[in-house]
Amino acid sequence: MNPYFLEYSLVGIAGLLFGAALERGRMCFVLATNNIITAGDTKILEGILWAFGISVLIFGAVESLGIIPVQAAVQGVFPSGWYDLVGALFFGFGIGLCGACMSGLIFRASSGFTQNWMQLFGILIGTIFFAFIIFPMTNFLYWILHTIPWLGIKPGLSDYIPHEWFGKAVWGPFVVALIFGGFFMLFGLYLTKRRFKKIGEERGEKNYKEPVITWNMLKFKEPYSPRLGGLLFAVIAIIVLFASYYTVHKVAYLGVTTPYGSFDTYLLSPFINLYNVVGPYKASFLPKLSSNWFQIVPVAIPMTLMVLCTFAGATITAILGGEFKWRVPRRKMMFLQNFIGGVFTGVGARIALGCNIGTLWSGFLMFSWAGVLFLPTLVLGMYLALKFQELVW
Amino acid sequence: MAEEKDLENVKPDETLDVMGETCPIPETMAHKKLKKMSVGKVLEVYTDHSAAVENSFPSMLKKMNYPYCVKQTAPGEYTIKIRKTS
C-alpha cells in the first residue's frame, strides 16, 4: 500500500476520534482554567492531566525501548525559547477572551456556536497579521535577544531534555517521561480523589465515585467523563506518532494551528506572492523549520486532514448527542470580542510556533522545553482575560 | 447546595439571556447579577451552552451555596433558576 495513503488514512481516523473526544469530553483548557478560578472545580483539568500523563509516559517508553528510534523522535522536536513565553501570553489572552482554546474552539464551532466561527476567522487574520507585522519584528528582536545567553535558541539535539540530562543513555527518555508524565498522572489522580471525597461528604456517600466510562456515554446519551476524553487524547497522539513514523518514516507530533497558517497562504496565493513579501526577513529564530515562515509547509499535509476530520468528528458526535444547533449570540458585540480574541490567538500561536496542542502538549511529548515555557504565561494570559471580562461585562 | 426542584415553579425576579454565548460569559454575568440582587430573590438564566450547565454553573453555585434548578426547554436549550440565599 502507498505509505502516504496509509498515513493520511490513519491520521484521518485519529482526527475523527480527536473530534469525538473533544466534543464528548468537553476538553477545553479555558473551561478547565475558568472552572478552577471561579469555582475551584478540577473535573476538566483532571482529564487534561490524564491526557498529558498517559501520553508522555507511553512516548518515553516507546523511545527508550527503541520502538521509535530516539534519532527519529529528535528530528521532530521544535526549538524552544523566549518566543514560547511571549506567544503563550498573547495566545492565552486571546483564547480567554473567546472562552475557547484551540481544541475547545473546534468542538464549540462544530456544535454550532457562531461566535467561535468568528474566532476562527480572527485566527486566520491574526496569522496573516503576524506574517506581515510581528514576524519581521520578532526577527529583529531575535538579533537583540540572542546576545543574552539564557534567551538564546538551542536548536536540534540540545533541546531534547533526555540528552541534556542523561546524555545518550537509552533509559533517558523514560526517566524524563516518569518525571513529567508521573507528575501529571499523580496530580490528576490526587485531584480526582480529592473531588470525590468532597462530593461524598456533601452527599453523605462514603465511597462516592464517578465511572470513567458508561454505556450511556457510548450511546451518546451523556457526555464523556473528562478522564475518558483524556485517555482518548493519549491514544490519538500515539496513533499520529506511529502512523507518521511507520508510513513515511518521519516522526510527526499532534498540532492544530500550522494548517491554519498554511490555509491562509493557500487562500492568498492567487493574489499575493507571500514569499516575495516576507522573503527578505530571514527567520533566524526558527532554525529547524525554515528560513521563511510561509514556506513551513504546503496546505496538503496530514495535519490539515487531521484538523478537517477533527471538525467532522466533533460535528458528528454533537449531532448524535443532540447537541448540534446553530447558536447566534444575543449580544452581537460577542462577535467583535471573538474576532479580537481570535487575532490575539492567531498571533500568539505563530509567535510560539504552536498552540496549546502543538506547543504545550506536543512540547511535553517531544521532551523539549517548549511545553514548560508555554504553560505559565498561557495560564497568566487566560487569567488576565477572565479578569478583563469580569470588569467589562 | 444541590439542585432544588421546588424552584421550578417559582416566578423569577430577574432574568439573564446569554443564549449563543460560551464560558466564562454565562457564569460571570450570572455571578455579577446575583451580587446586585437582594437575598431571597430568584434569577433565571437562559443558556444553550451545555458545558456551562454540566460543569461551570453547578460548581459555581455549589461554592456559593445557592440552590438552583436546571430545566431543558428544547434540545440544547436550558433555563437555570437560582435563589440568592445569602
In the β-sheet with B42-47, what is the strand arrangement from edge to edge?
Answer: B14-17, B42-47, B77-83, B68-74
- Residue A142 pLDDT greater than 70, yes or no: no
Distance, CA of A386 to CA of A388 (rounded, Å): 5
Cell numbers describing residue B62: 455549589
| Cβ contact B21–A114 (<8 Å) | no
Q: How confident is the model at residue A38 (pLDDT cuts 50, 70, 90)?
A: confident
User: Dihedral, CA atoms, A364, A366, A369, A374, nearest 10 degrees?
Assistant: -50
Which chain B residue has the Cα nearest residue A322? B75
- The whole-number pLDDT of residue A278 equals 47
Which chain A residue has the Cα nearest residue B55? A35
Burial B41-56 (b: 16+ CB within 10 A, else e): bbbbbbbbbbbbbbbb
- Residue A357 pLDDT greater than 70, yes or no: yes
Q: How confident is the model at residue A272 (pLDDT cuts 50, 70, 90)?
A: low
pLDDT tens-digit profile of B33-74? Answer: 999 999 999 999 999 998 889 888 988 998 888 999 999 998
Helix, strand, coil tally for chain A in percent (to 5): 70, 0, 25
Distance, CA of A19 to CA of A8 (rounded, Å): 16
**Nearest neighbour of A39 by CB, restricted to B19, B22, B59:** B59
Mean pLDDT over the full length of chain A: 85
| Cβ contact B55–A38 (<8 Å) | no
Cell numbers describing residue A92: 492565552
Say if residue A298 is exposed, middle or buried (CB neighbours under 10 Å; 0-12, 13-18, 19+). Answer: exposed
> Which range has the worst mean pLDDT, A72-86, A310-324, B9-23?
A72-86
More confident residue, A120 or A287: A120
CB A112 within 8 A of CB A326: yes
| Cβ contact B56–A35 (<8 Å) | yes
Which one-letter DSSP state was computed for residue A78? P
User: In this structure, is the dihedral angle defined by the CA atoms of residues A30, A36, A39 and A41, taken in order, positive or negative?
Assistant: positive
Cα B70–chain centre separation: 7
CB B61 within 8 A of CB B82: yes
**A324 contact residues in B (CB cutoff 8 A):** 76
Instruction: Give the residues across from B15 on adjacent strands.
Output: B44
Q: Residue range A201-207: average pLDDT?
A: 88
- Residue A299 pLDDT greater than 80, yes or no: no
Pairing mode, if any, of strands B68-74 and B77-83?
Answer: antiparallel
% of chain A at pLDDT higher than 70: 84
Q: Residue range A309-326: average pLDDT?
A: 94
Which chain B residue has the Cα nearest residue A329? B20
- The whole-number pLDDT of residue A258 equals 75
Interface subset of A 105-134, CB within 8 angstroms of B: 108, 111, 113-116
pLDDT tens-digit profile of A220-258? Answer: 999 999 999 999 999 999 999 999 888 876 788 888 887
CB A372 within 8 A of CB A179: no
CB B42 within 8 A of CB B81: yes
More confident residue, A263 or B64: B64
- The whole-number pLDDT of residue A291 equals 39
More confident residue, A279 or A146: A146
Q: How confident is the model at residue A293 (pLDDT cuts 50, 70, 90)?
A: very low
Distances (CA, A) of A157 to A71, A74, A288: 9, 6, 11
pLDDT tens-digit profile of A145-182? Answer: 554 444 444 544 457 899 889 988 999 999 999 999 99
Mean pLDDT over the full length of chain B: 89
Query: pTM for this one?
Result: 0.89
More confident residue, B74 or A336: A336
Among B59, B20, B81, B1, which Cα is nearest to A33's?
B59
Q: In chain B, what are the domains? A: 5-83 (3.30.110.40)
CB A109 within 8 A of CB A363: no
- The whole-number pLDDT of residue A7 equals 87
Residue B60 C-alpha, separation from nearest chain A C-alpha, in angstroms? 5
**Nearest neighbour of A323 by CB, restricted to B18, B27, B76:** B76
